Amino acid sequence: MENITKVLNMMELDCIQEKQEQYHFVQITSQFLRLGHLQDLHLESPSFLEGCLDQLLRRPWKNLSITNCQLTESDLTHLSQHPNISQLKDLDLGGVWLVNFNPELLQVLLEKVAATLQELYLDECGNRDSQFEANLPALSRCSHLKSFNLSRTSCPRPSWRSCCNTPESYSPEGVPLEGRLAQVWTPLMEIMRNLVQPKTIRIFLSPCPYHSDDI
């Protein structure tokens, strides 16, 4: 009986904590909405955001950064369909796991912001090949895109892996081999041309953390 009482007390405490978090979240968002000139929102590892993103979309944002947190598919649906993102210039979803979401949601989002988006960060989002390729048409319409980051995610196309995942890509000391990089460069540039007309491309030559043999 004593153990049952402890469990019930813990459940009650969890409910109280959840209600307190919801209360604080409402208070915070209400303050955001009162700042009439606020255009940039950066949230790093917010524990309170899951299932509540729609409340932060009540005002238009030009720069939106939500990183290293859990979001629901409902959150991404709100983000992709909300009219207040139509002027978005910078979007950072680094560390937000998107692999289990419907890839069409990101496609709809990119299409909505295609006329204004300049920077897109999807590093550590777990995108699969099929998800990345499904979003290529929408990415190609982002005519103002200057910076696009897919670092620390699964290599976004089988052709990239086929070029990069052989042991010959690195010397025993871990130094990139110039001859192998020359073979990688041509198919990589073909893929990039299908996306946008980039002004600057940065390629960091280090082993992929998720595929240890990949560049």
Per-domain boundaries in the chain: 1-34, 37-154, 158-215
- Residue 12: how many other CB atoms lie within 10 Å: 10
- What are 125-181's pLDDT values in tens digits? 877 767 777 888 888 888 888 888 877 665 545 545 544 444 445 555 555 555 655
> How far is it, in rounded angstroms, from Cα 40 to Cα 70?
20
- CATH pick for 37-154 out of 3.65.10.10, 2.60.40.420, 3.20.20.70, 3.80.10.10: 3.80.10.10
pTM (predicted TM-score): 0.68
- With a pLDDT cut of 70, the percent of the chain lying above it is 56
C-alpha span between 186 and 198 (Å, rounded):
15
